[in-house]
Structure 1
Amino acid sequence: MDTAVNDLSRRRDGTAATCAAVLIAAPASGQGKTTVAAALARLHARQGRRVRAFKCGPDFLDPHWLALATGAPVHSLDLWMTGEADSRARLHAAADEADLVIVEGVMGLFDGTPSAADLAQRFGLPVLAVIDAHAMAGTFGALAYGLQNFKPGLPWAGVLANRVASERHAGMLKDALREPSQWMGALPRDARFTLPERHLGLVGVNELDDAMARLDAAADVLAETPLGQLPVSQLPQVRFDPVTTDDAGTPQLLAGRTIAIARDAAFSFIYPANLDVLSALGARLSFFSPLAGEALPACDAVWLPGGYPELHAEALSANESMRASLAAHAAAGKPVWAECGGMMALFDELTTHTDEELSQVHRLWGLLPGRVTMQKRLAGLGPQQLQLGSHTLRGHTFHYSRCETPLAPSAHTARPGATQPVGARGGEAFYVHGPVRASYFHAWFASSPEATARLFGAMPIELGNDAAKGAIDDRC
């Protein structure tokens, strides 16, 4: 991996930092990890404590809730995508200033390579397991025991039952544990703090008028549990060692350039760390909202991040000034980096579906020939890497749409450990169409600031594999 941005570690004095810390995990997705993590963060934050939260693995939506709960940016930790050094530096920096560090896991505790359990072991983060117990009793104990003991040496903090029917039900669950001291309490099923979901995950906090009220309701209930009543001094204390680096800093490859970044409900999948990398590269960042009907601001390059263009297709289609200003930008040879939802908005058409299964075709911005169609079946998921010359960008993919285009992909992403493929089945298509660079691939910019600078036009794009030839109907 290329040298990451290590400004955090360079600012520290080289001494270890210790504070209360926990990794909140579960047997599977949908168990309530985000609710518990955000409720615990909110409970302590509103009592005046400094809380910092992280999300394990690639995710854009859960961090919005954790950021609302803590009042601070939420970064991703992933031993592959972000790297151990970056994760260690961020944890150390957080522990150096916070009273409590909360890491929310990803999927099930042992799912993925690397998994949340791998992260917990690497950094000594005690695991608090959240188990949806609405349809079980004694099996709760078996699940808790299995999660704790499946991987030898896993740091452990306890177990909390979610969506519990009654106090009697909670008592049955507690009695099922081999070690009653591991009981951290129970949360009921309660619409007041249910976090709504859709096809890519949780609904964003900016879409709900009562988002903070939901977190406060969850924090109120958690405050009555053994976990909520533990003072910070009695939560697990973890020592985080600093990262030493000889990195001389990020080269100013984008100095003097202004990058216009779409940011609203349609384009909200932005890692805060990616913005930090662009700034470290010397770029000036200018944000705009296509949903607000705005045209493109004066800039040298454009970033259209992922998000939910399919939910706002009608409004995006109606933004004629955006269509015209993007066309003028591209005609002037200025770069555009469009990832996932951003790429979807650049095609000629986007087909969406209503609840009644009726198709609706929306004319979009037309910088890329072809059409995008939403579907109920998952079309792409998992870690990916993109080779640009001698530099490799790491990231991931997650989408429910497919595109049909006469464009021949200039490259494809690959899964970790795989050689760079030529065929579309090996990864996501990466298109270079004039100054437009587009893919379903979500990039983690810190994995290669040099490759990131190439995406935004600082240097020519150099591809790490042969371009596919002769495609007339490439299905992404």
Structure 2
Amino acid sequence: MQEPVERTSAACPALFIAAPASGQGKTTLTAALARLLRNRGKVVRVFKTGPDYLDPQILAQASGRPVDQLDLWMAGETYCRQRFFEAACEADLILVEGAMGLFDGEPSSADLAALFGLPLVIVMDVKGMAQTAAALVAGLAGFRDDILIAGLIANACASQRHRELIESALPAEIPLLAAVARDGALTLPERHLGLVQADEIRAELELRFEAGARALDAEGLAEALLQLPPVTFEAPRQAAEPPMPSLQGRVIGVARDAAFSFIYQANLDLLERMGATLRFFSPLADRHLPPCDALWLPGGYPELHAAQLAANASMRDELRRFFAADKPILAECGGLLYCLESLTDIDGETHTLLGLLPGHGAMRGRRGCQGMQTAELPEGPVRGHAHHRSVAEGTPAPIAFCRRQRHPAPGEAIYRQRGLTASYLHLFFPDNPDALARLLMASGQPASALETHSLTPEESQG
């Protein structure tokens, strides 16, 4: 019997949906397009550029498929190449939603599109402009010679005449693929850190997806995209890799509900590949922790649910006992806030929380902190992303500071109390599986037994 030949490449039509800036309607139109093609029985795999948590939730519901985050700095080229290859093996079309403006960030959306040869469609809110929209698209197309802009989607177009003015001014090689009218029924709801979580408004989202799909269907966009020439995605070259660290037999409790939902699917997949059993629980609704060896308290919106978290005395008591037993706990951003003594929510009300870590959390309006950073953990460096509009005050001296991607100033503080490791940084586990295995007690050694010392900001920058 002949051995099956392992595939080394796969081809599939693909499109990168970008914009000149944030707030142009990329997610709304990417979701609408995914739903339109799904309604036609097509398999659509959608990816989101950057470390975003909320857009992938929306896009996963629209497409009916998991949505991975792709970032060349945080996840690396090999990881991105593997995700694209796997998607191309099953999809009729691949969509990638960009982040911010096309050339913003290092690496940018343009960098990702250029590396994998993905044609770009520009989504632009054309309110208040006509021919100028064409000039902006032409400028984007000419800014770099390693990208291909395949067309424009004019969002918030006022009329047929508005459409004609834009279309007539576009360069011949950049067609107007669609003009979408201003329609509040299509717009996705937002709050202080971005879009509202999909699980909170699933029924409302369905209405918006279908309305968007109808609008794009009327423009004939599905037919145009399915006729795109395929992009060939190569499988990553298999290099000799160290053996995957083991979490075999370890049970990891993962907080997951409306207050704690900023979870990379890639993190869950990695823990399971290392042999861990995942047990999900809700600090909002459950009275008891599941039996587990370690806990992960991810980020989310504890500030919106602080009263309910404070009222769940049974869960708070069990988490305190878990902490007192020196078992490992990883707390990220919202999880960090939950571990503090108290949290002042967005309405100015203060609520008593776990008290595993001295200090008090409070929201601080529209000002926030964000950016790519590396957590300099005793177990090893792990890349990740910070994005928050709260502050933690009265905390103990950190054991280290995160290292910013491109700035010399110290990043987020990293705290350790007994088995608790807490920081504002959201970690991308696949960046350093060995460090995560050590952190979650793969060897059975308590995290508190690891040799650590408090680092100054200067030491942490190394």
Instruction: Give the TM-score, by structure 1 length.
Output: 0.90
Contact 2:245 2:433 in 1 (8 A): no
Residues of 2 paired with 1:450 and 1:268: CA distance? 24
**Does residue 230 of structure 1 match 2:210?**
no
Residues of 1 paired with 2:311 and 2:368: CA distance? 27
Give the 3 Å change call, closer, same or farther, for CA 186–456 of structure 1 in structure 2: same
Residue of structure 2 aligned with 1:416, choices 387, 405, 408: 405
Corresponding residue number in structure 2 for 1:199: 192
Contact 2:379 2:439 in 1 (8 A): no
Give the 3 Å change call, closer, same or farther, for CA 14–248 of structure 1 in structure 2: farther
Residues of 1 paired with 2:398 and 2:5: CA distance? 44
Contact 1:252 1:280 in 2 (8 A): no
Structure 1 residues 149-164: aligned runs within 5 Å: 149-164=142-157
Give the 3 Å change call, closer, same or farther, for CA 250–276 of structure 1 in structure 2: farther
Contact 1:408 1:468 in 2 (8 A): no
Residue of structure 2 aligned with 1:57, choices 27, 32, 50: 50
Corresponding residue number in structure 1 for 2:460: none
Deviation at 1:257, TM superposition (A): 0.8
Contact 1:251 1:281 in 2 (8 A): yes
Residue of structure 2 aligned with 1:393, choices 369, 382, 388: 382
Deviation at 1:19, TM superposition (A): 0.6
Residues of 2 paired with 1:196 and 1:12: CA distance? 47
Percent identity between the aligned chains?
48
Amino acid at match of 1:227: L
Structure 1 residues 126-145: aligned runs within 5 Å: 126-145=119-138
Q: Deviations over 1:49-98 (max 9, x none)?
A: 11101001111000011101111111111111000000001101100111
Contact 1:411 1:463 in 2 (8 A): no
Q: Deviations over 1:16-62 (max 9, x none)?
A: 11111001000111100001111111111111111101001111000
Unaligned segments of structure 1, at least 5 residues: 1-10, 420-424, 470-476
Contact 1:384 1:394 in 2 (8 A): yes
CA RMSD after TM alignment: 2.0
Residues of 2 paired with 1:465 and 1:166: CA distance? 64
Residue of structure 2 aligned with 1:97, choices 86, 90, 103: 90
Contact 1:81 1:395 in 2 (8 A): yes
Residue of structure 1 aligned with 2:79, choices 86, 89, 93: 86
Residue of structure 2 aligned with 1:148, choices 132, 141, 148: 141
Give the 3 Å change call, closer, same or farther, for CA 250–205 of structure 1 in structure 2: farther
Corresponding residue number in structure 2 for 1:257: 250
Deviation at 1:229, TM superposition (A): 3.6
| Matched position secondary structure for 1:193 | coil
Residue of structure 2 aligned with 1:467, choices 448, 455, 458: 455
Corresponding residue number in structure 2 for 1:443: 427
Give the 3 Å change call, closer, same or farther, for CA 271–176 of structure 1 in structure 2: same
Q: Deviations over 1:294-335 (max 9, x none)?
A: 321111001011000001111111010111000110111111
Corresponding residue number in structure 2 for 1:426: 410
Deviation at 1:236, TM superposition (A): 4.0
Amino acid at match of 1:380: C
Give the 3 Å change call, closer, same or farther, for CA 291–80 of structure 1 in structure 2: same
Corresponding residue number in structure 2 for 1:8: none
Contact 2:397 2:454 in 1 (8 A): no
Corresponding residue number in structure 1 for 2:165: 172
Higher relative contact order, structure no. (Cα contacts within 8 Å, ≥ 6 residues apart): 1
Residues of 2 paired with 1:109 and 1:366: CA distance? 43
Instruction: Give the TM-score, by structure 2 length.
Output: 0.93
Unaligned segments of structure 2, at least 5 residues: 458-462
Structure 1 residues 177-192: aligned runs within 5 Å: 177-179=170-172, 182-192=175-185
| Matched position secondary structure for 1:80 | coil
Contact 1:252 1:282 in 2 (8 A): no
Contact 1:374 1:402 in 2 (8 A): yes
| Matched position secondary structure for 2:354 | coil
Contact 1:174 1:180 in 2 (8 A): no
Corresponding residue number in structure 1 for 2:358: 369
447-456 or 289-298, which deviates more = 289-298
| Matched position secondary structure for 1:223 | helix
Deviation at 1:388, TM superposition (A): 2.9
Residues of 2 paired with 1:111 and 1:463: CA distance? 40
Contact 2:18 2:120 in 1 (8 A): yes
Deviation at 1:251, TM superposition (A): 2.5
Residues of 2 paired with 1:144 and 1:226: CA distance? 21
Q: Deviations over 1:183-204 (max 9, x none)?
A: 1111112121210111111111
Corresponding residue number in structure 2 for 1:422: none
| Matched position secondary structure for 1:97 | coil
Deviation at 1:375, TM superposition (A): 0.9
200-209 or 247-256, which deviates more = 247-256
**Does residue 286 of structure 1 match 2:275?**
no
Corresponding residue number in structure 1 for 2:115: 122
**Does residue 218 of structure 1 match 2:212?**
yes
| Matched position secondary structure for 1:143 | helix
Residue of structure 2 aligned with 1:310, choices 297, 303, 311: 303
Residue of structure 2 aligned with 1:405, choices 380, 394, 398: 394
Amino acid at match of 1:47: R
